[in-house]
Each structure stands twice: as structure tokens, then as C-alpha cells.
Structure 1
Amino acid sequence: MESVLKKPERVLSYDGEIITFQLLQTKSGSDIAEKSALSFSRKTFHTDTGQFIETSSGQYIIPSSKSTFQFVSVRCVADSRTGLCLPCILLRTSKRKSSRLILLLLHGSHEVEPYFKFKVEAETIEDLQITDGPTVLWKQNEKLFYVSSVTSEVLTAPIDISAILWTGTVEEDTCVLCITTIRLDAEHLTSTSVSNRTFQGREFVLYCIENKKTMSGSCLVPHTYASVLRCLDVCMMQNVNGRYETSALGASNKQLIWFQNGVPKHVFQLPFENLSRLQVAYTSRAEMLCVLSFASGDACAVWKDGWKTAATWQQVENILVDDFVGRGSDQMLLLFKDDQSNPTDHQAFRLTDCGDIDYPAVRTGDKIIENQFQENHFRMIQTLEARLQTSLLSLEELQSHLQVQDRVLKSSCDSLIDMSLGVETSVHSANKECLVSLLDDVEDCHYPSTTQKCEDSECFVENIWQRVIDDFLVVGVKLKDSVDISLSDIGLSLIMDQEIALPSQVTKCQTNVLKLAISSSLDLSTVCPREPVAKKQRLDYHSKDNLSGNCSQSPCPPPYQNDLEHTVTVVTALSPLLALSNTSCALLLHARRKNQPDCLHRGEKLTVPCGRLSLRLEDVLKGKHTVNVFENCQGSRSLEDIFAILSVLQRCLLHIVSPDCTLTSMRPWLVGQMQAEPLKYIPEIMVCTRPGYLCGTLFIWNPKTPCDGTLTVFYRNNAAILQCLYSLKSVLPPTCEVNVMRPGSRNSLTTDLAQSLEEELLALRSLVSAAASEVENNLTLRCETGNKITNTMESSCDTKDHVQNYRESLEMEQMQINLGAHLTTSSELYRHNVLNIAQMQINSDTLACRMANL
């Protein structure tokens, strides 16, 4: 009577399936082994039922079945003959002094092929690995042994090793990362040798089997980790210009370590100890998931992105990583210890990728509750991922277009700089950047210059000056009086010499229009009121709070008004310029033309070179062009010094409203606590002479009513403005309200918007009036002609003719009425007026949008 003995099985994942291998031993009644067989079955996961269903099975009778076989290793490796990845089973039968091993390959047609056999002299085989080929490697007696179908016999590598850590294929060569023990005698412990060896006496060695070359393994892992590293998985290893670029994931007893080119980049503390296996899964999120198994039966998964624990499990018997649901990404199949022998029946397992896919099997009697929405959920995720990939492709194309745009802009800026400096330049062809012109350009055409001749600067610029304040360089340009009539939107820029500053010659700077900074803080109508004398006598609060003193009845512009309105400054950092020791740069004036007879050239941009500036480190150190903010303001300071200080200092507008009492304490506060004195050339501005942070702070007090006013503070740093506000709080009434008015606040924008709408309304009225006048004139001329014809007809005496004349006269009047209703204005007048109204509407819309965003 025969009996079939089943030995413990092995489970392997292959191409999204589970293959279960089991050895069968048939014995007779006399307990003599008659035959040995290897049975296998394939199981596929079904998402509808949430179970593994057996699809096929088979059996292979092992030759020489009188021996007893045991499983050594089961793994999927590549066959060197076809390049296909196949399940590989390594079996062993032991005798007294030797062991015989047989390697089997399972093909897709359920055919089992005996690949090769070999013998080993000892029963103890350590660190056995099966890699592509297939090639079997192991450690025995501190030596590395390997065998394959190519070698046809067991070979020994010429290196002494203590452990095998990793095997893999690098550029069609099988490589083995081993740990070797370094034994140094006292006579060999020189300074040179000690520096190249680790203190633990171990180091990594990378051995190439086909080439039979030995190299240092430090390109993957530093030698200092040789005594602590237990598992290693090489993610990338490629030879670039004779040097290996690598990335690997290693694990010690308590830590997970990420290595980049042999350098540890990140360390993660593991939640358990005694690591036994390390695997890597690439999930549906296109992220790397590190799967770790421990000897205690615990397991965990760690995201590489962020190094956070994804999940932990207990009582895990085995973890398989493969694409079991057929989604193109990896999942983890966890087989628990309660019933690992048969995953097709009611066995506790879990299939998950710690994200979109999760099939827990919860046992409730004989029924398994599963997630019914899993399929729809994953399909939605797939759709979103497809959209994301499409967006990424669009983003790459956009980045490519931006790179082309940057190159074209840089080339254009270089050409513009060369033309501004008077250097000959050539505009590159658009075909070099694969660009298509929207105009009918000719390749060899002469492009017009965007800059005016240098003689044009004499028509605009009257004087140029420069000052140094703290770490800033201030350059001022005084324009001529006629500039306000012909130019608008005036700005300045500094361009350094090409041979001094490469590759960028444009200096980062900020243009300041001083009249905007002062006029918004100081209303001349309040300094010089225009009310009648009787009303002025009743509301004469300016005698107390007016900083400029009494003024005449008629408005008189201050002496600095002309210089203030015609001065434009530019501020730039001084340190980058001083780094070049001697700096020379050109000053460009940017503006738009206005009040041109031709409406097409009214908004034409203008770039005019104003002159050149030179700055030497020696002059700055000696104090040339330097303005000290702390010095006495009543001294020899000129208007240029004051303008430079106003350009550098920060500005804060405070709107002060006191509903219960008047603001008569503002001037005593400025003169008393702030120790402020009026400037010599601009007495409306008061400068603080109080020692400390406030020294050099400028104030402008502009009272609109006895209970309402605006205080403008020009300060150096935040500490000064905070100290100023703290001191101001002590003198203001308790019910006083202080609001910060930023540039372009709602109060100022309201006034600008009202003025813009008024101009737009007047322009519309003017347009309608002009068009109606023109149409009326044309209609009058035509009516006069018709009346002449009618009067001529009335000269007839005959009654019949008289009736006919009246009929024709009536038809003429009807025709004139229809003619007057359809008369149009001239195209030139319409074009001129519509362009003006469109520009006004654009200005109004811009102001309205800015107010809406406040």
C-alpha cells in the first residue's frame, strides 16, 4: 500500500500569479523510497470575488527519485538563453559527506526543465543566492563559489569573504557584493594602510564573475557599514565616464538607510528589530515603497518619499511583491501565519499597495466581506493619473517654450545694450530657435533702431548727480521744463560696461518719482489755502498746525517745486558695484511720448542714453559723494542730498482722525519729543535730531481739517517707525484713530478713479457734440438744396402741376428725414475720438480693479 507524504511547500509570485511548489514523497509498506515528485499549482487573484483561484496545476517526477530532496531556494531569475524571467527551483539531496543539488526551470507551458546539477563537498551552504543566468552563488569556508550552465562546474572566486550581501546584473555582467575580513599584522599597520581600511576590520568588495575583476564596493556602501548592514537592494548602478553612479537601499538591525553614490543620504529608524528581508515595491502612485520583514513575524512598509511609515502588520508568514491585480504597478500580498499552506481557501491574507488598492479579507463565518467599490475607485484613480501625465507633458512643452523665450529675450537684451552703448550688433535669425515670424519679414532686412541718437539726451536732461547713502547708490537726473509736455512714464536704468560685468550687464535698480512721494503727503492747497477771507478767518487752524508758517492769500509755489517735479532718481545696491573696485556704467532714460500730432505715435516708447557714471572704491572709502543721514540738516545740505535721502528711506503714510477733539498736539510733539527741525530748502519737511534710531527720520504733517490729517514718515528701519508710533501714541487723544495708508490705497484710488471717470464723461460729451454738429451741418446743406428745388416748383400756375409739386415736395421731405437719421460722421474724427475714449476707459478699468483687490 502506497502513502504520499507532503513536505512543507514554497510560495512564489510570478507575472502576477502565485505558484505553490510542494515535494511529494511516495513510500511503500517497507518504507523504501520509490519516487519523488514536484507538484505545482498556479493561482490568480480575482477582483470580483477577492480570492485566489487556481488556474492550472502540474507535477514533475524527479529523476533518481530514490534520494530524499529538500527545498533550498525558489526565485524568479532571467534565462540567459532567451532573456525571459522564469521560476527557478533549487533542490538538494544530502549524503554523508556531500550534497547534490539540482536546478529546475518552470516554463510557461508547465514544462519543468532540469537545467544543471552539481555537487558540493560539505553539507553547510551559507548565503546562497540565485541570480540571472541562472547562476548559483554561495559562501563556504570563507570562499565564494559559483556555478552555472556556462561554467559546467563549480568555480571558486580568488577572494576571501565572510558574507554575501547582494547579487545582481550590471551591464550584462553578474556582480556580487561581498564582505571581506581584513587581517592586518603589526608590521603592515602603516599610516597609509590604516587610512584605507576600516577600524572594524571589514570592507565591501564587488566581484564581477564574467570579467573576473575585483573592485571596491564603496561606490555602493561605505566600508564603515560592513559590520552592521544585514540587507541591501541596489536600485540603480550604471557606469558613467568610467565612474559608477549608484543608489541603494540598505538596512541594519534597527535602521533603514538610503545611499547615493556611496554616501548615506537619509536614515530611518525601524519600528522593529531583527530584520530578515528587504524588498522594494513601485506602487500605483509612482513611489517607492520599502517592504521589511522581521524574524518576529512583524512587518512594515516605509515610503521613500518623506520616509514615513505606511503600515505595520503582525503575525506575517510571507510577503510577496508583484502585480497581482494587473494594474501595471506592484502590490504586496501578505500571508499570515494562521493558515499559510493554502491561500485559495478561507485563509487570512491581505493584498494592498498602501494606497489605492486594498483587499482585506475579513472572516465572518463562511462569508468574506469585500470592498465592492474597489474597481470603480481604482479606475477613477487611473483616469486622474492619465490626466496628470497629460498635464506633465504640457508642462514640459511649456518649459521648453520658456527656455526658448529666455534665450530670445537674452539675445534681444544683448543687442539693445550694444546699441545703447554704440556698439555694432546683429539680430539673430529666428530660424535658429525654430521660430516662425508673424510678419512678412525679410532675412537680410535692416531693423530700425529702438534708441534715439545721443544728441537727443540734450533735449531732455539738464543735470546728472550721484550720492552714496549707507549701502545704496542714488543717481539723480534733473529734466528740463519741456519734458512734462512731451514725455510721460519716465524711468531710469543703469547698464554696466560689457567687459566689466559678464554675463549680465543690467543692474537691478528702482526708479523713484519724487513729486509723487511728496505731493501725496503734502497738499499745497492746505499750505496756501484758497478759501475766501471770511471763511478763512473762521477756520484758521493753520496758524497752529501748519508746518510752513503763514502764507499769502494767493497760492505761491515753493522755490523747490520746479526741482522736485523735474527730478527722477534711481536707487541700486552699492555692494555689488564696489566688488568690481572700479565701475563704469551707462544711464538710460525710458519714457513714452505724449501730445504727438499723430495718434499712432502718441504712446511710442523712447530709450535715450543720458550719460555715463564712474564709481571708484577709493572715492567711496574717502567719503566722496557720501551723505550722512545723522548730520545737521541745517548745514550745507543741498537739494540733491535731500532728494537722495528721500529716495533711499522707506515711507509710511499715517491717516490720523480725531472725532472728539482737534489735533493741536501734533506740532508740539514734532518740535518737543521728536526734536524736529524744518529743512532749509524744504521747510514743509521736518527732520528728527533726537539721538538714537529716530535720528534722521523725516516728517510731513498735512492737516486737512482740525480733526483730520496725514502724517508721512520717512524712516531707515522698522525699529525707527515702531519707536515713532510708540511716542505718537502718548500724545494723541484716546479716541483718535490711526490708519496706515499704503501707496495706492482706497482713499487715493477713489480720487484718481473719480477724476478718470470725469475725464471720460467729458470726452464722451465732446464726441457726441462734435458728431452732432457735423451731422447737423451736412443735413442743413442738403435741406437748403431741397428747398431751392421746391421753391422752383411752386412757380407753376397750373392746379394739376401744383398738386404734383406738393407731392414731390412731400416725398423730398420724407427722404430728407430718412437721410438725416442715417447720416454718419467722418472716419478721421471718429477714429481720433474713439482712441481717446478707449485710453481713458482702460485707465478707469485699471483703477477700478485695483480698488476691488484692496
Structure 2
Amino acid sequence: SALRQRVRQIILFNRKRASATNDGERSELIFCSLSFERGDNAFLKAADGAAVISRRRSDHVDIVKCKCATDAQERHTTACVLVTKKSEKGQSFQYSLLTLSSSNRLEPCIEFKLSYQMKENVYILQGPTVLWTHEDSVFYTSLQAGGQIFVLGLQNLSEKSLIKQSTSQTVGYFVQDGLVFDGSLILPHPYIRITRCIFVLKADRVDGALKCTLVAATSKQQLVYFENGTVKEICQLPFEQPDNIQVVDTGRNGCLLVISFHQGHVCAVWKETFQVFSSVHSDDFLGCGTEQMLLIFKDQGAEGQQLEKFLITDLCGLSYSRGQDTEAPKTSSPPAENYLLTLQALESRLQSGLIVLQELQREVRVKDRILQQSVQVLSDVVSGRETVLTQHEQVLCM
């Protein structure tokens, strides 16, 4: 089973065998989305559904990865889940990337077949794009890659000298156009082998290279802040084997770096305060204009229809908790200033939307004028009349 967050929702994915009408069983991918209801202080089921992955009993179906990614064609964020279907003899592996539509239906997005099984280093990126490694090579497939996807690695160089040595250099590779650049501008050479996960805070492509600000968690239990390949800050992490880095924006109080670990531990790097949870997600669950952390405690199955132990907090006064002790659920209502922040955030979004709408309306008006003038010119040509256009109209028609 797998768990993924969407805007103000938690989505649970699982696989299930169901009875088929003909011979044997069919394998299904089922999902259940939970949304937080402030009045009940609980995550309640908002929608559920299923998609048939295989109708043959001999096929073995597994969930490989799930993550939210931007759909470059639809221009919105959607929940994605990658599943694999292994043949009876294990000679081929069929992979399918499904997306959860706004109407809460699982829809196929990408399908491909491999002669081997993906094991580690599988990623779902913007586009959506599926990227994975196999035998020291990087592969990807996408309908339409979104943003700038790049890969960092080491390139071996054999020195032609009396002393035969093998050296390596850090290289970066843009997936879309195949351009290679100096990867040490992002991560210094000593950090390539020990980096477990990174989070890019800012990146700009300049003259074929990246100007990049990022944080990286290493196998040496360190969290490192880089600016253009230069180490700026380092702090020690309390656990080993970091797997993922998330950023929680708490508004005026700044950001939290939240690191998840392979053993299930989680820590937040902010003013040297740490607390262990089984998983962590960030979003505006309370709908108050700033992001909060949803911290889910241990010993909860992904198949449950309700989360029994969790904490929603921004560590700045907002706090909703359930199942932390034997007392009644604790809540802390948002302070009055948060309502002002909400209004300001909504006003800013409306203003941005209005600007975009006005620009689109201007484009439509220009296109309408061009069409009308083009029709007039064609009519005049057919009728043998001479068309007289002003200089401004000539520029529009060109």
C-alpha cells in the first residue's frame, strides 16, 4: 500500500484481488481520499474508487511509487501512482502510470514494458515524468516533461600516463535536450557519493549551466545548504539514511526543513527542535492561508478509513491533535491575525488572476481584429477591390 497527499487531502493507494466474472481473479488498484474536517477534528473519507490493472490470476501487481506532480498539459497538480505487472514467468514487466483526475477517477497516463524490474532510484517528476536508473544508466519516459529536469552523477576519466589511475568528475545532464554541464556548480565532487536526497530551493539556467540553491541530506547524517556548489550551512541530523526533504512555509515565521528517514523517523530542522513521527506532509490543511505540517504517528495501517493519531501544526500557534493521549482531542483555533492573512492571500490570488484574465482578453481582442481584417482582405481579393489598411492594421496583419 502507499500514501500520498494532494491539496488539503491524503490519498491512500492499495492493491486488491477481486473475483472476476469469467476465470480466476482480477487485480485492482484502489484508492481512498481523506480530507480534514475542522468541526469533527478528523480526516473523513471524501472519495474512493478502483481501476483494474490485470484480469489474469497469474499476473503479480505491485505499487512502485506514488507522488503528486504537475500535469504539463492540464497545468495542474495531480496525484500519480506507478504500478507494475509482472508476467507469470517473470520475463517482462509492464509499467503503468495512472493519475487521479478532478472527477476522482484513476486514468492511465503512461504505459511501457521493460525486460527488467525497477528496484531503486525511481522518481515521478513534473510532466508527469517517470525517471529511473538501471546498470549505471538513467532512463526516463514522459508525455510532456515539465520544467528543467537534470541528473547529477560522476563521469569516469582514465588518465593516459605512466601511472594508470581512474579519476572522475561531477557532471550534470539536462534530460530534455541532452546538454551536459559542470555538476560541481550544484554539488561539489566530495558530496556526490554521499548525498541521499536533495531539495532544490531555486534554480535558474544561465548559459547552459544551472545557478542553483539547494539543501542535501547525506549518509553522514548531515543536512547541507549549498549556493552554486558552495557549502553555506551544515547541521547534524539525529537519524541515519535520509530519504526525502520537504519544505513547510509557515508564513511570516519562515520555513521548516522536514526530513524523512528510511526507518520511518522524521525531524524538523528549526531552532534545534526535533520530534519523531511516522510520516509528514505539508499543505494548507486548515485553509487559513499558510501551510501546516500534518504529522502522522506510528502504528497506523494505510488501509484504514480514518487517521486516529495525528498532529496538524505550524509550530507558531496553530495546532490540531488527535490520539496523542487519553483525553479529548485538543484543538487550538487559528489566531485572529490568520484570518487577515487569509484575506490578504485570497486578495493577492484574485489580483493575479485578474491580471492574467485581462492579458488574455487583450490577446483575444487582437486576434479578433486580425481575423476580421484577414476576412476583409480575402473578400477584396476575390472581388478585385483594392484593400486600404492603416499602418497599424498592416502591422497587425503581418
- Bin for the TM-score computed over the shorter chain: 0.7 to 0.9
Per the alignment, residue 7 of structure 2 pairs with 15
Rounded to whole Å, the distance in 2 between the matches of 1:350 and 1:242 is 44
The answer to whether structure 1 residue 92 and structure 2 residue 84 are counterparts is yes
One of 294, 309, 320 as aligned partner of 1:359: 320
Per the alignment, residue 265 of structure 1 pairs with 232
Q: How many percent of aligned residue pairs carry the same amino acid?
A: 27
Rounded to whole Å, the distance in 2 between the matches of 1:288 and 1:203 is 33
CA contact (8 A) 2:171 2:180 kept: yes
One of 265, 272, 275 as aligned partner of 1:312: 275
Per the alignment, residue 380 of structure 1 pairs with 337
Distance 1:109 1:97, change over 3 A: same
One-letter amino acid of the counterpart of residue 380, structure 1: E
One-letter amino acid of the counterpart of residue 21, structure 1: F
Please list the CA deviations of residues 757-816 of structure 1 after superposition, one character each: whole Å capped at 9, or x if unmatched. Answer: xxxxxxxxxxxxxxxxxxxxxxxxxxxxxxxxxxxxxxxxxxxxxxxxxxxxxxxxxxxx
CA contact (8 A) 1:343 1:349 kept: no
One of 222, 246, 257 as aligned partner of 2:212: 246
Rounded to whole Å, the distance in 2 between the matches of 1:334 and 1:188 is 58
Following superposition, the deviation at residue 229 of structure 1 comes to 1.3
Rounded to whole Å, the distance in 1 between the matches of 2:8 and 2:162 is 55
Unaligned runs of 5+ in 1: 1-8, 151-168, 388-854
Following superposition, the deviation at residue 382 of structure 1 comes to 4.6
The answer to whether structure 1 residue 322 and structure 2 residue 283 are counterparts is yes
Per the alignment, residue 231 of structure 1 pairs with 197
Distance 1:47 1:225, change over 3 A: same
One of 21, 27, 31 as aligned partner of 1:40: 31
Per the alignment, residue 62 of structure 1 pairs with 53
CA contact (8 A) 1:229 1:252 kept: yes
Per the alignment, residue 50 of structure 1 pairs with 41
Rounded to whole Å, the distance in 1 between the matches of 2:342 and 2:43 is 28
Rounded to whole Å, the distance in 1 between the matches of 2:6 and 2:314 is 17
One-letter amino acid of the counterpart of residue 310, structure 1: T
Distance 1:47 1:331, change over 3 A: same
Following superposition, the deviation at residue 185 of structure 1 comes to 4.5
Rounded to whole Å, the distance in 1 between the matches of 2:143 and 2:251 is 38
Rounded to whole Å, the distance in 1 between the matches of 2:206 and 2:143 is 31
One-letter amino acid of the counterpart of residue 271, structure 1: P
One of 169, 173, 181 as aligned partner of 1:207: 173
Rounded to whole Å, the distance in 1 between the matches of 2:153 and 2:307 is 44
Per the alignment, residue 102 of structure 1 pairs with 96
Structure of higher CA gyration radius: 1
One-letter amino acid of the counterpart of residue 13, structure 2: F
Distance 1:345 1:109, change over 3 A: closer
After TM superposition, list the pairs within 5 Å mapping 1:649-728 onto structure 2.
Answer: none
Higher helix residue share: 1
Rounded to whole Å, the distance in 2 between the matches of 1:245 and 1:326 is 34
Per the alignment, residue 370 of structure 1 pairs with 330
Following superposition, the deviation at residue 364 of structure 1 comes to 5.5
Following superposition, the deviation at residue 124 of structure 1 comes to 4.2
Rounded to whole Å, the distance in 1 between the matches of 2:256 and 2:126 is 24
Please list the CA deviations of residues 222-272 of structure 1 after superposition, one character each: whole Å capped at 9, or x if unmatched. Answer: 112112211111110013576643210111121111101211101111122
Rounded to whole Å, the distance in 2 between the matches of 1:129 and 1:282 is 24
Following superposition, the deviation at residue 128 of structure 1 comes to 0.8
- For 1:230, what is the secondary structure of its paired residue? strand
Following superposition, the deviation at residue 294 of structure 1 comes to 2.1
Per the alignment, residue 71 of structure 2 pairs with 79
Following superposition, the deviation at residue 65 of structure 1 comes to 4.9
Distance 1:70 1:83, change over 3 A: same
Higher strand residue share: 2
Unaligned runs of 5+ in 2: 345-398
When the two chains are superposed, the root-mean-square deviation of aligned CA atoms in Å is 2.9
Following superposition, the deviation at residue 328 of structure 1 comes to 2.8
Please list the CA deviations of residues 187-245 of structure 1 after superposition, one character each: whole Å capped at 9, or x if unmatched. Answer: 3979xxx9xxxx9x554332112212111212211112112211111110013576643
Q: How many residues get paired? A: 340
CA contact (8 A) 1:134 1:148 kept: yes
Higher RCO (CA < 8 A, seq sep 6+): 2
One-letter amino acid of the counterpart of residue 337, structure 2: M
CA contact (8 A) 1:175 1:208 kept: yes
Rounded to whole Å, the distance in 2 between the matches of 1:346 and 1:79 is 29
Distance 1:386 1:263, change over 3 A: farther
Per the alignment, residue 129 of structure 1 pairs with 123
